[in-house]
C-alpha cells in the first residue's frame, strides 16, 4: 500500500518538477520516471541502488521522492564537502515522522537530534564523560570482561549444541552498555519467561524497526493530518521504552530520595541530577544509546566471525596473535592493542560490511552551494559510505575481504579519511567508535580463544549464506547458527 502511494506521488511530482524547481541549479540526477524504475531497490537495497545511479549521474546527484529533495554523495570528495567543508550547514537530521509523536524526543537525542542544540551538546558531553572518553573506557574494562565471561559461561554447558550467536552477541553487548549507563544488566541471558533475554531482545528490535523506518508521510507531509499509523507506532514505542527502562529509572530515583546507597555517578545518576530532562526523555536517551552501541556492533561482530570462519588461514593468524595476549586463562584487553592482524580484520570488516551503509541522513539547515550546485534548505543529504568503501579508485580488490590492506595503512576509522567512514564523520559522527572497537575485539577475541566453531550438520564454512538485510543498518539476512566446541 505504501509503495503504491509513493509511486503515485512520484508520478504527480514528475509533472510539477520542472515548474517548481527550475530556478535551482541542482546536482544532476534521475527524473521521476527513472526513480520509479528503481523504487523497489531504493526501499530494500538503497545502498546498491544509489551506487548504480551514481555511476550514471556522478558522485553528487539529486532526485525527488515525493516532495522531498534527496542529495547523494558517493565519493570521498563529495562526502568531505558535506561533512567537513560545510559541516555545520548540513548538521541537521531528517527524522521519520514517528519522532514527532514521541514525547520529548527532540530534546533527548544524541544521534537523532534535529540540530546541534544545547540539549544535544549537554547529552553528548555527559555521554563523553561517562561512556566514550578514554578514562571512562579504562574504568569499564571490568564490565566488558565480566559480561563477555557471562557469555562464555552460558556457552560452556551447551557445547555441541546449535547456538544463535547473533542473539547472544546482542544480549552481551546490551548488558555491557546498560551496565555502563545504569550499573544494571538489561538482559538475563539465563532467564526464562518474562525475563528471558529473547523477550527483551524482541522489544528492542521492534523499537529499532519502528523508529528508523520511513513511511509515505515522510515524503508527502500533506498526509500528516491523517497519519494515524505513525501515532500508533509512537504509542507502541513509548510503551516498550517504559517497559525496558521505567523500572530501572524508578528504582534509582527511589534510592536517591531515600539515600540508601552511595550515588554511583553513572550516566543515569547524572541525567537524573540535571533537572533539564524528564523521565520520558531519560528513557528515550537510554534506549537510543543502547541501540547505537549494540545494534551496529552486533552486526560487525557477526560479519567478522563469518569472514574468519570462511577464511581459515586468516582465523589461524588471529588465534596465533591471541595466544600471546593471554593472562592466565583470559585475554588481557590492554595487550589486545598489540594484535595488529586482528585489528586489521576488524577494520576490513567495517569496510566491507559498513554497519550503516547510508550513515544517518543529514539535513540542510540553510541553502548552500556545493561544487557550484545549489542545495536548498531542508534537503536530505545521504552519504553512501558503503559505495565509497567499495570504490575501486581507492580500494584494490574492493569487494574482497583482505585484512592485509590495513596492516601498513594509516587509514583509521575516526572519520579523518573520507574513503573510509564506518562511524561517519564531522559534527554528527558516532561518538562511540572507540567503545565499539574495544567491545568487538574483546567479544570476538574471547569467543575465538575459548571455542572452535562449526556449522550444523558439518556444512562447509564457505557455504555460509552472505545475504544482507537492510533496515538503516546492514545485517546478515539469515541467523548465524554455529556449534561451539571448547578448545584445549
pLDDT of residue 384: 98
Lowest-confidence range among 28-42, 256-270, 313-327? 256-270
The pTM (predicted TM-score) of the whole model is 0.90
pLDDT of residue 124: 92
pLDDT of residue 75: 98
- Domains of the chain (ranges; CATH) run 1-486 (1.10.630.10)
In residues, how long is the chain? 488
Closest alpha carbon to 470 in 405, 350, 386: 386
Average pLDDT (98-106) is: 70
Cβ neighbours, 10 Å, residue 84: 14
Tell me the pLDDT band of 194, cut-offs 50, 70 and 90: very low
pLDDT of residue 208: 67
Cell of 372: 557550484
Q: What is the DSSP letter of 452?
A: E
Task: Among 16-20, 258-262, 402-406, name the most confident range.
Answer: 402-406
Give helix 312-322 / helix 340-352 axis angle, nearest 10°: 140
pLDDT exceeds cutoff 90 at 401: yes
pLDDT exceeds cutoff 60 at 415: yes
Mean pLDDT of the chain: 87
Closest alpha carbon to 198 in 467, 469, 479, 437: 479
Cα 325 from Cα 439, distance rounded (Å): 16
List, for residues 26-74, the tens digit of each pLDDT value.
999 999 899 889 888 988 899 999 999 999 999 999 999 888 899 999 9
Cell of 125: 558531553
Phi-psi region of 104 (alpha: psi -120 to 50; beta: other; left: phi over 0): left
Cell of 70: 534527496
430 is in an annotated binding site: yes
pLDDT of residue 19: 47
List, for residues 139-171, the tens digit of each pLDDT value.
999 999 999 999 999 999 999 999 999 999 999
Tell me how far CA of residue 450 lies from CA of 128, 242, 319, 341, 482, in angstroms: 33, 37, 10, 19, 14
Cβ atoms of 435 and 127 closer than 8 Å: no
Cβ atoms of 42 and 50 closer than 8 Å: yes
pLDDT exceeds cutoff 50 at 21: no
List, for residues 287-314, the tens digit of each pLDDT value.
889 888 999 999 999 999 999 999 999 9
Amino acid at each position: 500500500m505504501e509503495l503504491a502511494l509513493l509511486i503515485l506521488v512520484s508520478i504527480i511530482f514528475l509533472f510539477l518538477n520542472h515548474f517548481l524547481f527550475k530556478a535551482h541549479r541542482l546536482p544532476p540526477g534521475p527524473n521521476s520516471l527513472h526513480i520509479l524504475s528503481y523504487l523497489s531497490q531504493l526501499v530494500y537495497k538503497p545502498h546498491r541502488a544509489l551506487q548504480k545511479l551514481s555511476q550514471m549521474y556522478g558522485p553528487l546527484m539529486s532526485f525527488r521522492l515525493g516532495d522531498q529533495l534527496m542529495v547523494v554523495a558517493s565519493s570521498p570528495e563529495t562526502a568531505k564537502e558535506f561533512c567537513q567543508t560545510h559541516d555545520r550547514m548540513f548538521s541537521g537530521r531528517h527524522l521519520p515522522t514517528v519522532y514527532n509523536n514521541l514525547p520529548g524526543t527532540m530534546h533527548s537525542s544524541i544521534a537523532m537530534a534535529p540540530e546541534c542544540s544545547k540539549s544535544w551538546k549537554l547529552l553528548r558531553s555527559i555521554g563523553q564523560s561517562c561512556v566514550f572518553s578514554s578514562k571512562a573506557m579504562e574504568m569499564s574494562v571490568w564490565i566488558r570482561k565480566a559480561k563477555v565471561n557471562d557469555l562464555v559461561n552460558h556457552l560452556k554447558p551447551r557445547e555441541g549444541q546449535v547456538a544463535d550467536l547473533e542473539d547472544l552477541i546482542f544480549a552481551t553487548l546490551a548488558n555491557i552498555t546498560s551496565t555502563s549507563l545504569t550499573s544494571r544488566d538489561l538482559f538475563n541471558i539465563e532467564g526464562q519467561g518474562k525475563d528471558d533475554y529473547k523477550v527483551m531482545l524482541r522489544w528492542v528490535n521492534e523499537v529499532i524497526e519502528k523508529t528508523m523506518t520511513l513511511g509515505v508521510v515522510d515524503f508527502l507531509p500533506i498526509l500528516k493530518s491523517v497519519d494515524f499509523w505513525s501515532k500508533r507506532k509512537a504509542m507502541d514505542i513509548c510503551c516498550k521504552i517504559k517497559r525496558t527502562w521505567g523500572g530501572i529509572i524508578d528504582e534509582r530515583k527511589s534510592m536517591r530520595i531515600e539515600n540508601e546507597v552511595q550515588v554511583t555517578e553513572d550516566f543515569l545518576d547524572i541525567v537524573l541530577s540535571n533537572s533539564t530532562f524528564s523521565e520520558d526523555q531519560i528513557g528515550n536517551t537510554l534506549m537510543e544509546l543502547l541501540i547505537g552501541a549494540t545494534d551496529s556492533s552486533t552486526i560487525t561482530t557477526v560479519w567478522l566471525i563469518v569472514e574468519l570462519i570462511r577464511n581459515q588461514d586468516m582465523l589461524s593468524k588471529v588465534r596465533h596473535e591471541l595466544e600471546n595476549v593471554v593472562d592466565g586463562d583470559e585475554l588481557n584487553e590492554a595487550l589486545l592493542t598489540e594484535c595488529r592482524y586482528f585489528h586489521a580484520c576488524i577494520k576490513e570488516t567495517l569496510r566491507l560490511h559498513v554497519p550503516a551503509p547510508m550513515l544517518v541522513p543529514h539535513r540542510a539547515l540553510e541553502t548552500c552551494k556545493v561544487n557550484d550546485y545549489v542545495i536548498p534548505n531542508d534537503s536530505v543529504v545521504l552519504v553512501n559510505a558503503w559505495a565509497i568503501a567499495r570504490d575501486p579508485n581507492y580500494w584494490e580488490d574492493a569487494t574482497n575481504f583482505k585484512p592485509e590492506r590495513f596492516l601498513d595503512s594509516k587509514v583509521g576509522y575516526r572519520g579523518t579519511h573520507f574513503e573510509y567512514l564506518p562511524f561517519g564523520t564531522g559534527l554528527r559522527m558516532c561518538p562511540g567508535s572507540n567503545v565499539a572497537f574495544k567491545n568487538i575485539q574483546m567479544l570476538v577475541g574471547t569467543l575465538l580463544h575459548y571455542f572452535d566453531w562449526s556449522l550444523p550438520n558439518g556444512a562447509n564454512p564457505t557455504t555460509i549464506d552472505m545475504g544482507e538485510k537492510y533496515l538503516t543498518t546492514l545485517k546478515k539476512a539469515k541467523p548465524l547458527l554455529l556449534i561451539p566446541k571448547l578448545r584445549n
